[in-house]
Amino acid sequence: MKILLLFLLFSTNIYAKLNIQHWTTPEGAKVLFVQTQGLPMLDISLNFNAASSKDGDQYGLATLTSSLLGTATQSRNEEQIINAFESVGAQFGGSSLKDMSIVSLRTLSRESVLRKALDVFTEVVTQPSFQQQYLSREKRQALQSIKASKQSPASVASIAFAQAVFGKHPYAHSKIGTPETIEAITISDLKRHYQQFFVAKNLTISLVGDVSRARAKQIARQLSHGLNIGKKASPNPIVKPLNQAQKIHIDFPSKQTHLLIGQVGISRSHPDYYALYLGNHIFGGSGLVSILSDEIREKKGLAYSAYSYFSKMASNGYFLLKLQTKNSQAKEAEVTALNALKNFVNKTVSPQQLQDAKDNIIGGSSLKTASNDNILIYLSIIGFYDLPLDFLSSFTDKIKDISAQDVQNAFKRLIDTDKLITLSVGGNK
């Protein structure tokens, strides 16, 4: 319970050498495959460029579409689908983010089991039947999720921050949607969203596990074969930088104030990507040993968790610093965190700080691909974001060469401490 764990997708880390095999299916889906041995299992992740940023003004559409995958196909109802997966011990999952909708399968790799699991999985993804009864139920579930997020100060803060930092950009709205937008979504909206975005050319297939390359090829082929070829979704617009500072406070009946300070961030192809990554690692991305945690937690005991990160998406995401403290200390924590950030932007890090961070990142690279599960996430990211295949192995080389001056220059170029969003959610001081 010492440190809160961060979401892996948002705080990608580093990499040992992986033998990544890759190809494109005849229908145009991109495939990345790593063969692993030692455990008789296979993980498959399908990442469609089909997420909430493609909702248009129908907020919640991508999430609802994703949640109906697995409820019915042209030949099976929901219970038959669930039973089919369960009867071979396979785990089916689906989720939708701002950039990607993910459908996944984890199964034993024994051929008799794999074949059955894969057949149902293929059917669920390629022949969904969108039915009113399931849409009505999932809408009600979505409304409950909205309520659940409204009773959590952390969720209220995250949603409000995204709205403030992304403004009119399609990243701005909550992927669950609002009660009004959810209510208006129909079966034909879901079908249209599915037909446009759940297509082969808009898909990255990642496979990790104990199967041969030949078998992996068949699997990828089977999955992409049933999909329309379609076309790649057009990229989201660039997020415009903020032109002035914003202070937002949301009253909330909580004992703590959740404080979020940030601004527009970077895309995965930003020229300063590595310098900013390393810099953030030193500032607020390395748990208790980071500068931010040291100032807020270790020196002053103001918060249990204090960290910062760059969200890394296709368009530029955000840079965000987060902490929670009792309401009466909110001001002190804000001043301390802001000073730490200003100081970091205005002063180069010490040689020791730089070396420690590099040693942590480089020395820990083997941990990041130590499980099939972790490898799968990296394959998805490499494939989905069109990163070079040697992204993992070249990462440490790129980090090695960065100087303290590079870090400071990159932060100075990006972070404008006069135009930050300062968002607080909490009770009376």
Partner 1 sequence: MVKIITLLVSLYVAQVWAMEGVSQATLKNGLKIIVKTDNRAPVFISQLWYKVGASNEKRPLTGVSHMLEHMMFKGTDNYKTGEFSKIIARNGGDENAFTSNDYTAYYQKMHKSKLALALKMEADRMRHLQLSNDEFEKERQVVIEERRLRIEDNPNANVAEHLNLISFAKKSAYHSPVIGFKKDIENYKLSDLRTWYETYYAPNNATLVVVGDVDAKAVIALAQQYFGGYKANVNIGNIDDNPSITQTGQSHVLKLKAKLPFSILSFPVPSLKTASDKHSAYALDMLAFVLDNGLSKTLVRDQQIASSIGVGYGLYSKYDTLLTLSFIPAKGVSNEAVLSAIKMQVAELIKKPAMIKEELLRTKIQLEASFVFEQDHISTQSYYLGMLATVGLPIETLFSYVDKMRAVSAEDVAQVAKQYLHFSAANSVQLIPQGD
Q: How far is the CB of 137 from partner 1 (least distance, A)?
A: 6
Closest of 75, 1, 8 to residue 312, by C-alpha: 8
Would you count residue 360 as binding partner 1 (CB under 8 A)? yes
Token reading at 393: 């192995």
Q: Which of 88, 100, 233, 354 binds partner 1 (CB under 8 A)?
A: 88
Binding to partner 1 (CB under 8 A) within 281-310 occurs at 286-289, 294, 297-305
Per DSSP, what are the bridge partners of residue 99?
Answer: none
Binding to partner 1 (CB under 8 A) within 118-177 occurs at 137, 140-141, 143-144, 147-148, 150-153
Q: Which of 35, 127, 371, 409 binds partner 1 (CB under 8 A)?
A: 371
Q: How far is the CB of 291 from partner 1 (least distance, A)?
A: 12
Would you count residue 80 as binding partner 1 (CB under 8 A)? no
Q: Which of 332, 359, 397, 401 binds partner 1 (CB under 8 A)?
A: 359
**Dihedral angle sign, alpha carbons of residues 399, 400, 406, 408:** positive
Count residues binding partner 1 (CB under 8 A).
71
Would you count residue 91 as binding partner 1 (CB under 8 A)? yes
> Are the C-beta atoms of residues 415 and 239 closer than 8 Å to each other?
no
Nearer to partner 1 by Cβ, of 41 and 185: the residue is 41
H or E segment and range at residue 396? helix 391-400
Binding to partner 1 (CB under 8 A) within 15-74 occurs at 16, 36-41
DSSP string, 154-217: HHHHHHHHHHHHHTTSTTSS-TT--HHHHHH--HHHHHHHHHHHSSGGGEEEEEEESS-HHHHH
Would you count residue 324 as binding partner 1 (CB under 8 A)? yes
Nearer to partner 1 by Cβ, of 36 and 49: the residue is 36
Per DSSP, what are the bridge partners of residue 208?
Answer: 34, 43
Nearer to partner 1 by Cβ, of 186 and 355: the residue is 355
**Which residue in the block uniquely carries the two structure tokens 């069109």?**
386
Q: Which of 236, 254, 263, 408 binds partner 1 (CB under 8 A)?
A: 254
Q: How far is the CB of 108 from partner 1 (least distance, A)?
A: 5
Q: Which of 251, 373, 386, 401 binds partner 1 (CB under 8 A)?
A: 373
Token reading at 346: 């205005």
Give the whole-angstrom CA distance, residue 93 versus residue 104. 5
Q: How far is the CB of 296 from partner 1 (least distance, A)?
A: 10
Nearer to partner 1 by Cβ, of 224 and 256: the residue is 256
Would you count residue 224 as binding partner 1 (CB under 8 A)? no
